[in-house]
Structure formats: structure tokens, C-alpha cells
Amino acid sequence: MSTIAEDVLQEHYDRVRRAYGGAIGRHRNEVTTPALLLDLPPARRNIEKMGRHMAGVAAELRPHIKVHKSPELARMQVEAGAIGVSTATVWEAIVMVRSGIDHVLVVNEVAGRDKLAALAELAREADVMLCVDDARNAAEVAVAARAAGSTLGVLVEVDTGMDRAGVDTHEQAVDLAARVAAMDGLRLLGVSGYEGHCSLTPERELRHEKQQSAMGFLVGAAEAIRAAGLPAPIVSAGGTATWDWTAEFPGVTETQAGSYVVMDEFHGAMVGDFERALTVAATVISRPPDRVIVDAGNKSMGAPALARIAGSDLPAFRFDEEHGIFEATPEAPLKVGDVVELSPGYAPATVNWYDAYHVLEGDEVVDIWPVVPRGPGHGGLIR
């Protein structure tokens, strides 16, 4: 798998540079739109700032790369002090290991023969963990690990209130932990629980209250596992909207915050400490008296209803598939042919639409970085 994955990664780099490399050296307003723009200086500052923040707390940082899907940004995060990375998929994990990061947590349950086999093989060359919330699935993971001659780290996922995956009680956590600990090929390492439901609460005090309750329940699950004589050295949680509270919560050992690197309108409304480093370049294609219409629609933007035109107060009216429509007056200065930049509503779902970043230093495109792997497909990483 190692050679295959390296070949596939190189194909991604070669392909996007062939396709988009002509933009290198251009001004940011001269790219072919829609285009995903990454302002590298603010992204660097965000990474460095989070590194400084985390140096002052007991928890470690294991940032989630589902946000940016970029080996370059992930390496920058590790260089700034992150202990490894979190991923949502097996193929993201493969990309991270192939890119030189040797400590990866798949913050998800994994089922299916091919994916389990690939993850177990990956664990032969890197420290790989995943989540489980079901004993039968854990047994399937163990079979794959033994077949590959590897050991997979396991975190019991705990539902902290998001009503997604995870066990619902401390008793269930202890029972599953005991089963995992008895399985050859698995190494019980603790618990994971994402308090993502707190991010849906814009009011800061209420969000903090929900976060405290969620982390209290998660830490309590780890304590119950330890009280049963089982290991639980890792308590992993956290997102950008709650990163500071979670990183400081007693008993939490690591946080998975990731959107802070590029930021977006959704997270920016709750966390003002980081800069916007991600935009989508779009061209004005129609200019009725009461609207500005650009060529980036809901197939180019995540959470488009939250998107805004950078440097403008024109409200979003509607996003169709290939049309972004903003309210305007006849006096608004934008005209057909003008290039604008849209600050996305939600970064992870925006990045996922694109093959590549147009990487900017100031106003100049200095490089093209692939988004690897984008979309739900594994892109040839699992064969």
C-alpha cells in the first residue's frame, strides 16, 4: 500500500499543477474563477497563535485536518507543536502518514473490509488510532489488525450530547472498554467525544454551559473506565468554537480543533481570535439594479447563506447552483467582470468542492497545493 499511496499522492500534485499552475505569478484578481484562495501569511499566524495558546494549557493539540485536507498545512501545524492530527476518514489518514505525520487519530468509527484492512496496514508504519462504539465492530477491527500484523489504538467514543455516534452511558463505556482491552490486535487508549452540538449555540454563556456539561460527562466516562482497572490515558475532544474551554477542562488531554487555521463566517461569529485565511474568488457575471450576481453558487461554497463578499456589506440574497446572488443598489460600485472574494460560511464544506488551493503571499499566487483527498471517494488510495 505504501508505494501505491505515494504514487497516488504524486499524481494529485502533478495533476493540479498541470491544471492550475498557469496561475502561479498572477495577481489574486487574475485567477480563473471560481477559485479557492489560501492567504498563507494569516494561515501561518493562526497556526502560530494556536501553538502559543496551547503551550499554556495541560492539553495537547491534535488538529482535525478534515477542514483543510492539506498535507502542507498539517505539517505546519505539527511543526508548531501539534502532537499529530485527527482525520475523519481512512483515506485522510493515509494521506497524512504518507506526508510524514506518524501519529493519526481517525475520529470516527470505521467499518468495511477494505477500509479496515487499509487502516490496519497503515498501523504497521505509524501510530494509528480510531474510535469504536460497538463491540462487534471492535472485533472486526481486531481481526483486520491481526491479519496485518499490527496493533490499532482504540478510543471508546462517547456521545456527549450531539446525538451522533458514541455510547450513551458510563456503564456502556466501561463494558465496551473491557471488551476492547481483551482483544488481540487492539490497544485501549481512552475515550473521545465531540461536543459539536455546542457550536450550534451562538450565545457564548449558554455555549460554555453546554460545553462544561459535555466535557464533564466525557471525563467521567474515562474515570469510570480507570476505576474498573482499565487504561484510559487519552481524553480527546474539542472543536474551534469551544477549543479554549475544552483545552483547559480538567481531565481532557487533547483537543481536535481544526477550523482555526483558515476560519470561516460560522466559526468567526463565535471565535474572534483568528484571521480569515480562506476565500473563494468569484467574478460578477450579471448586474441588475438591485442585485450583484457572481459565478460561485452553492456548488462552490459551504453554508452559502452565511457567506459574504469580503470588504462589502451587501447581504446574501440566494445561492443557486452556479449563481451567488447578493442584494445591492444601483449605486453599489461592482460591475460585470469585477472579481470579488467570498468569505465562506463553512470552510470544510467549501474546501471539499475544490481540487486545489491557489496559495497567496500578499496579492500574488505563489503555489498550487492539492486538496487531497477531496470528496467522499478515496481517490485510489485504497485498492
pLDDT tens-digit profile of 237-263?
Answer: 988 999 999 999 999 999 999 999 999
Sorting pLDDT into bands at 50, 70 and 90, what band is 199?
confident
Q: What is the model's pTM?
A: 0.95
According to DSSP, the β-strands at 308-309 and 316-319 are unpaired
Q: Residue 38, Cα to own-chain centre: how many angstroms? A: 15
CA distances to 176, 277, 305, 351 from 324, rounded to whole Å, are 48, 21, 10, 17
Contact of 129 with 86, CB cutoff 8 Å: no
Q: How many other CB atoms sit within 10 Å of the CB of residue 122?
A: 24
How far, in Å, CA of 146 to CA of 209, rounded? 43
What does the longest C-alpha to C-alpha distance in the chain come to?
Answer: 71
Confidence check: pLDDT of 1 > 60: no
With CA atoms as reference, report the closest residue to 173 among 221, 116, 239: 221
- 128-174 pLDDT per residue, tens: 999 999 999 999 999 999 999 999 999 999 999 999 999 999 999 99
Which residue in this structure is represented by grid cell 461536543? Answer: 195
Residues 201-206, mean pLDDT to the nearest whole number: 89
Q: At what angle do helices 170-181 and 204-227 cross, to 10 degrees?
A: 50
Q: Which domains occur in the chain, in start order? A: 25-39+272-370 (2.40.37.20), 42-261 (3.20.20.10)
What φ, ψ does residue 35 adopt, rounded to 5°? -140, 145
Contact of 256 with 238, CB cutoff 8 Å: yes
Cβ contacts of residue 161 below 8 Å, gap of 6+? 195, 197, 198, 210, 213, 214, 217
Q: Which amino acid is at 348?
A: P
- 310-369 pLDDT per residue, tens: 999 999 999 999 999 999 999 999 999 999 999 999 999 999 999 999 999 999 999 999
DSSP H helical segments within the chain, as ranges? 2-20, 40-55, 71-79, 90-98, 113-122, 135-148, 170-181, 204-227, 243-248, 265-268, 347-351
How far, in Å, CA of 117 to CA of 172, rounded? 27
Q: What pLDDT, on the 0 to 100 scale, is given for residue 361?
A: 98
Cβ contacts of residue 22 below 8 Å, gap of 6+? none
How far, in Å, CA of 85 to CA of 239, rounded? 13
Sorting pLDDT into bands at 50, 70 and 90, what band is 9?
confident
Mean pLDDT estimate for the chain:
96
Q: What pLDDT, on the 0 to 100 scale, is given for residue 272?
A: 84
CA distances to 100, 112, 199, 272, 332 from 269, rounded to whole Å, are 34, 38, 11, 7, 26
